[in-house]
């Protein structure tokens, strides 16, 4: 996979956020809210770097060992676990394409 470069950290964040919202909304449009309840987040393996510094500056996410965590990046207005996972996975994928090591984590309530 080739690396995608963004002009600014803000552009990367907005692109990842848009991808997350689209993925979650697409799932909800097709399958609705009937799913098990749960939560999903993105873990960035390093709590350092320009992108994480940008997130800290705008008040998004939190330090968490190991790394840095962004909870429900799609801001889904649903408890549907799969919708939250789809959004977090899309957000993490954009970060990975930009060379940032990130992955989805989730739990069922």
- Give the chain as a DSSP string: -PPPP-SSHHHHHHHHHHHHHHHHHHHHHHHTT-S-BEEEEEEES-S-SHHHHHHHHHT-SEE-SSSEEEE-TT--SS-BHHHHHHHHHHHHHHHHHTT--EEEEEEE-
Domain-wise residue ranges, the chain: 9-108
pLDDT for the residue numbered 2: 55
Provide the whole-model pTM. Answer: 0.93
pLDDT digits (tens, 9 = 90+) for 31-69: 999 899 999 999 999 999 999 999 999 999 999 989 999
């Amino acid at each position: 996979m080739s690396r995608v470069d963004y002009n600014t950290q803000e552009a990367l964040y907005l692109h990842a956020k848009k991808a997350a919202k689209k993925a979650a909304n697409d799932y909800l449009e097709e399958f609705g809210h009937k799913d098990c309840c749960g939560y999903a987040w993105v873990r960035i393996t390093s709590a350092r770097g320009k992108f994480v510094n940008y997130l800290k500056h705008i008040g998004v996410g939190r330090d968490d060992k190991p790394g840095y965590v962004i909870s429900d990046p799609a801001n889904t207005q649903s408890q549907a676990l799969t919708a939250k996972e789809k959004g977090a996975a899309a957000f993490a994928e954009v970060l990975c394409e930009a060379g940032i090591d990130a992955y989805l984590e989730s739990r069922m309530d």
